[in-house]
């Protein structure tokens, strides 16, 4: 029996996310926002977790401290992110989006919703719910490790 990547569920999920991120990056670039995909990921996390400790972001991003420090510096230099010392742990920095960062994140969220709608546009509501349930189960299989 021959095996095709097209039969591999995780490969297909990976390709969906690759196309999603490529389209999102294209929309950001076309909107004249000078933001990389990694910067967008940082902004998305910090937007969902205002005043987040840098260590939490590092665990979420699964990147080394030096790479994350460069990403944060780039976003600060662009005026999209602020960082301040944690009053309880002076070794830690707290991260918050600026007004400009919040505005771009809002645009990213709108684009994400539009791309989500595009992705499920051919599914019935029942198929959408079934797919969501199955994907959550696959995700949870990896959380149990």
At residue 5, the pLDDT reads 61
Q: Work out how many domains the chain is built from and give that number.
A: 1
At residue 24, the pLDDT reads 84
At residue 4, the pLDDT reads 64
At residue 145, the pLDDT reads 58
Burial of 126 (0-12, 13-18, 19+ CB in 10 A): exposed
- pLDDT (tens, 9 = 90+) of the chain, 145 residues, equals 456 665 798 999 999 999 998 888 888 888 778 888 889 899 999 999 999 888 888 888 888 888 988 999 999 999 999 988 877 777 778 999 999 999 999 998 999 999 999 999 999 999 999 999 999 999 899 886 5
- Main-chain phi, psi angles of 108, to 5 degrees: -60, -40
**CATH code for position 32:** 1.10.10.10
At residue 62, the pLDDT reads 84
Cα angle, residue 107 at apex, residues 106 and 108 outer, rounded to 5°: 90
The model's pTM? 0.75
At residue 32, the pLDDT reads 77
At residue 61, the pLDDT reads 86
Range of the domain at 88: 5-143
What DSSP letter does each residue of the chain carry, written as one string? Answer: ----GGG-HHHHHHHHHHHHHHHHHHHHHHTT----HHHHHHHHHHHHSTTEEHHHHHHHHT--HHHHHHHHHHHHHTTSEEEEE-SS-TT-EEEEE-HHHHHHHHHHHHHHHHHHHHHHTTS-HHHHHHHHHHHHHHHHHHHT-
């Amino acid at each position: 029996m021959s095996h095709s990547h097209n039969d591999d569920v995780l490969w297909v999920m990976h390709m969906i996310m690759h196309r999603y991120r490529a389209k999102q990056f294209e929309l950001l670039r076309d909107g004249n926002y000078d933001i990389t995909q990694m910067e967008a990921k940082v902004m998305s996390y910090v937007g969902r977790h205002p005043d987040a400790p840098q260590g939490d972001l590092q665990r979420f991003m699964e990147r080394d401290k030096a790479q994350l420090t460069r990403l944060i510096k780039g976003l600060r230099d662009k005026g999209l992110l602020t960082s301040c010392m944690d009053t309880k742990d002076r070794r830690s920095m707290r991260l918050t989006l600026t007004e400009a960062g919040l505005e771009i994140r809002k645009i990213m969220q709108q684009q994400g919703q539009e791309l989500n709608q595009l992705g499920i546009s051919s599914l019935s509501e029942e198929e959408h719910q079934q797919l969501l349930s199955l994907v959550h189960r696959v995700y949870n299989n990896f959380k149990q490790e």
